[in-house]
């Protein structure tokens, strides 16, 4: 892309049926960045991820990924273009073990990590290879959900609240995992409510309110911007 962005979202609007949820979202992500979407419940963060993936009723505006327009493109084609989505509920198959869960999604493009590479990156999953989905902790399920996306060959990962419901020590593990993914050259857009966690993984943060981006702050400026951000986030 001439502008150097991996993802460029402009004036994005989205609807669920008659319900108009996104009202002109603008955001950019450069290759290799980790960027968060912060905001209160109902601000439209999840809907933004779903809209990028093509999983809302109707979209308008522009979403360019690696220079290619995604408005009007089906979710499966968007996945094959290199975008992977991990929903908040993670979607681990309870009756399958860790390896089976990893094998289940198709590799949609070249460059997907092999099982050996996944074990190398995330030793926890190697240890738990034969464990059934139901036996995994919340943190292990979250790791597995992210690893599964890496199998598909996705280069941009959309993660919805990976820290949600996890104990602090496990949240730290997920943080290490995301930094490891970044070090490997992947790009991440993640929804977060946990400010402290966001600070440990991200390069930049966007703040959403009422279906729009209302602020953006570099991670280095997060600490000095807390007063301003707290007004949006109500914490």
Binding interface with ligand ATP (CB under 6 A): 16, 19, 21, 39, 41-47
Closer by beta carbon to ligand ATP, 60 or else 104:
60
- Say which residues have a Cβ less than 8 Å from residue 182's Cβ, sequence separation at least 6: 32, 34, 188, 201
In whole angstroms, what is the distance from residue 84 CA to residue 99 CA?
Answer: 19
Q: Measured from the CB of residue 8, what is the shortest distance to ligand ATP in angstroms?
A: 20
Closer by beta carbon to ligand ATP, 45 or else 128:
45
Q: Which residues of 88-123 are buried (b: 16+ CB within 10 A; e: fewer)?
A: eebbbeeeebbbebbeebeebeeebbebeebbebbe
Q: Measured from the CB of residue 28, what is the shortest distance to ligand ATP in angstroms?
A: 19
Q: Measured from the CB of residue 80, what is the shortest distance to ligand ATP in angstroms?
A: 25
If you write DSSP's letter for every residue of 132-184 in order, what string do you get? BGGGS-HHHHHHHHHHHHHHHT-SEEEEE-TTTT--HHHHHHHHHHHHHHHHT
Closer by beta carbon to ligand ATP, 108 or else 217:
217
Q: Measured from the CB of residue 3, what is the shortest distance to ligand ATP in angstroms?
A: 26
Backbone angles phi, psi at 63, to 5 degrees: -130, 105
Closer by beta carbon to ligand ATP, 114 or else 231:
231
Q: Measured from the CB of residue 21, what is the shortest distance to ligand ATP in angstroms?
A: 4
Closer by beta carbon to ligand ATP, 43 or else 198:
43
Backbone angles phi, psi at 81, to 5 degrees: -75, -15
């Amino acid at each position: 892309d001439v502008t150097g962005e991996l993802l460029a979202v402009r004036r994005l609007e989205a609807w669920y049926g008659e319900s108009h949820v996104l009202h002109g979202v603008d955001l950019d992500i450069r290759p290799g960045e980790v960027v968060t979407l912060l905001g209160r419940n109902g601000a439209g963060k999840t809907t933004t991820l779903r809209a990028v993936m093509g999983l809302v009723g109707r979209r308008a505006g522009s979403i360019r990924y690696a220079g290619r327009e995604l408005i009007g493109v089906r979710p499966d084609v968007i996945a094959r273009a290199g975008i992977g989505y991990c929903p908040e509920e993670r979607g681990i198959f309870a009756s399958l073990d860790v390896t089976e869960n990893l094998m289940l999604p198709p590799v949609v493009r070249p460059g997907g990590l092999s099982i050996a590479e996944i074990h190398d990156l995330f030793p926890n999953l190697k240890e738990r290879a034969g464990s059934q989905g139901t036996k995994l902790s919340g943190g292990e399920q979250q790791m597995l959900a992210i690893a599964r996306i890496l199998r598909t060959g996705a280069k941009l990962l959309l993660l919805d609240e990976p820290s949600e419901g996890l104990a602090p020590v496990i949240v730290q593990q997920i943080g290490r995992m995301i930094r490891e993914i970044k070090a490997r050259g992947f790009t991440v857009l993640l929804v977060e409510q946990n400010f402290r966690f966001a600070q440990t993984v991200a390069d930049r943060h966007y703040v959403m309110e009422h279906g729009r981006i209302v602020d953006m702050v570099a991670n280095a400026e997060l600490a000095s911007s807390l007063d301003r951000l707290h007004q949006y986030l109500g914490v």
